[in-house]
């Protein structure tokens, strides 16, 4: 380890970054910062709009989230392998607890999808009826 004044590891602590011992620029620094622009920019880039949201990006995000959810479900099912007896009317089933909870959540999702689908059909019919009334006048 060198203790000569040229050793950068022994510089004074009050020297600002990029400055010499007196606080001025070092010989390697340019006299002013580079403020030149690379050239004309696309209007979206100039307005800082960037890349817009795409369907492919949304699909990719949905797939990644779906894969993560499936892995979590698999871990949940594998950790809950104790048998549970289910009774539905006159039938009796014995399934692992994780599988039975998964089936219950799927049934709940199907019921919610049906309710949402019925509401979408109602709104579409009302919109079509309103459009027909507006075109008659």
pLDDT tens track for 96-132? 988 888 888 899 999 999 999 999 999 999 999 999 8
Domain that holds residue 129: 56-135
Domain count, the chain: 1
Answer yes or no: is 79 within a domain: yes
Task: Report the first-to-last Cα separation within the chain, whole angstroms.
Answer: 93
Answer yes or no: is 114 within a domain: yes
- Mean pLDDT for 12-19 is 52
Answer yes or no: is 109 within a domain: yes
Answer yes or no: is 35 within a domain: no
Answer yes or no: is 107 within a domain: yes
Tell me the per-residue pLDDT of 32-90, one tens digit each, with 9 for 90 and over: 655 555 667 666 666 666 667 788 888 999 999 999 998 998 898 889 889 989 888 98
pLDDT of residue 49: 64
Burial 49-78 (b: 16+ CB within 10 A, else e): eeeeeeeeeeeeeeeeeeeeeeeeeeeebe
Answer yes or no: is 34 within a domain: no
Predicted model pTM: 0.48
């Amino acid at each position: 380890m060198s203790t000569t004044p040229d050793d950068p590891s022994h510089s004074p602590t009050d020297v600002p970054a990029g400055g010499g011992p007196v606080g001025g620029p070092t010989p390697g620094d340019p006299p002013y910062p580079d403020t030149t622009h690379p050239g004309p920019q696309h209007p979206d880039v100039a307005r800082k709009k960037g890349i817009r949201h795409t369907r492919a990006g949304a699909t990719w995000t949905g797939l990644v989230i779906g894969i993560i959810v499936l892995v979590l479900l698999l871990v949940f099912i594998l950790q809950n392998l104790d048998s549970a007896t289910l009774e539905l009317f006159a039938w009796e089933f014995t399934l692992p607890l994780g599988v039975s909870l998964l089936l219950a959540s799927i049934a709940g999702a199907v019921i919610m999808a049906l309710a949402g689908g019925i509401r979408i059909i109602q709104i579409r019919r009302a919109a079509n009826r309103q459009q027909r009334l507006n075109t008659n006048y």
